[in-house]
Every structure is written in C-alpha cells, then in structure tokens.
C-alpha cells in the first residue's frame, strides 16, 4: 500500500490490517454494506455524523484497497451503488466475532452503543 507516494512498511499482519480497515469510518462502512448494495445516501444515513466528503474519501480508499466495488449504472439520473468484494465479505465474520467479544467481555463499552 502507498501513502503519500511512499510504500508503507509494517511490522506485522495486524498493523497492516488496521492500516487498511482502521480509523473511524472504514469498518463501519464495511459493516453497513454487508451483503447489501446500498447507495451513497443510504450509507450516509446509516453512518451518523459522517460528512459526504469523508464518506466519499473512505469509499474510494476501500475501493482502492480491494474491499469495495463501486458500480455506476448507466441510467438517468445516474445510480451508483456499493458492494463488498470477497475480501470485504471475509471481514464480516471477524466483525461479528468482535461484536460478540464486546458484548461478553466489555459490557461497559456495549452499554454506550447508540
């Protein structure tokens, strides 16, 4: 992966993984796409407080990293939807495991979920 024109070096697979899906929005975007094919506005509504600019940026990065596919349908008006690649879909069970872990081992964090 390149950042600012330079190839990033990582110390382990976990660091590399979080470089790809880390941050405030990427995991949530992947989770909300799931097995659906939502349009941009549906994602924006699901992701409270994300700006359109940030959502577009994060979707472009996920597409660049091979986790999301953006499909432009040649209609009037144009329709764009997003879906997960196989690599993106492979993250869903991992996220489900994290969700279960939070509920079982970090109930104080689970209580703060809106």
Q: DSSP secondary structure string, 18-80?
A: HHHH-SSSHHHHHHHHTTS--BHHHHHHHSTT--HHHHHHHHHHHHHTTSEEEEEE--SS-EE
Domain hosting residue 28, numbered range: 2-110
* Residue in the block written with tokens 């953006």: 70
- Residue entry with tokens 């509920």: 103
What is the CATH number for 14? 1.10.10.10
**What is the pLDDT at residue 51?**
97
Reduce the DSSP state of residue 11 to 3 states and report it: coil
Confidence label for 4 from pLDDT (cuts 50, 70 and 90): low
Q: pLDDT of 8-50, one tens digit each?
A: 888 999 999 999 999 999 999 999 999 999 999 999 999 999 9
The reported pLDDT for the residue numbered 9 is: 87
Comparison of pLDDT for 114 and 97, the residue scoring more: 97
State the total domains in the chain: 1
Q: Is the pLDDT of residue 66 over 80?
A: yes
Closest by Cα among 90, 26, 108 to 63:
26
Of 53 and 111, which is predicted with more confidence? 53
**Mean pLDDT calculated for residue range 51-75:** 96
| Residue scoring higher pLDDT (90 or 4) | 90
């Amino acid at each position: 992966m390149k950042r600012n024109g330079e190839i990033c070096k990582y110390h382990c697979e976990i660091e590399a993984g979080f470089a790809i899906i880390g941050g405030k929005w990427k995991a949530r975007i992947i989770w909300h796409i799931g097995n659906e094919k939502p349009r941009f506005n549906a994602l924006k509504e699901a992701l409270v407080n994300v700006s359109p600019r940030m959502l577009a940026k994060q979707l472009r990065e996920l597409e660049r990293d091979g986790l999301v596919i953006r499909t432009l349908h040649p209609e009037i008006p144009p329709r764009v939807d997003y879906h997960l690649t196989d690599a993106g879909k492979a993250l869903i069970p991992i996220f489900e495991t994290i969700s279960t872990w939070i509920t079982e081992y970090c109930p104080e964090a689970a209580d703060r979920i809106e």
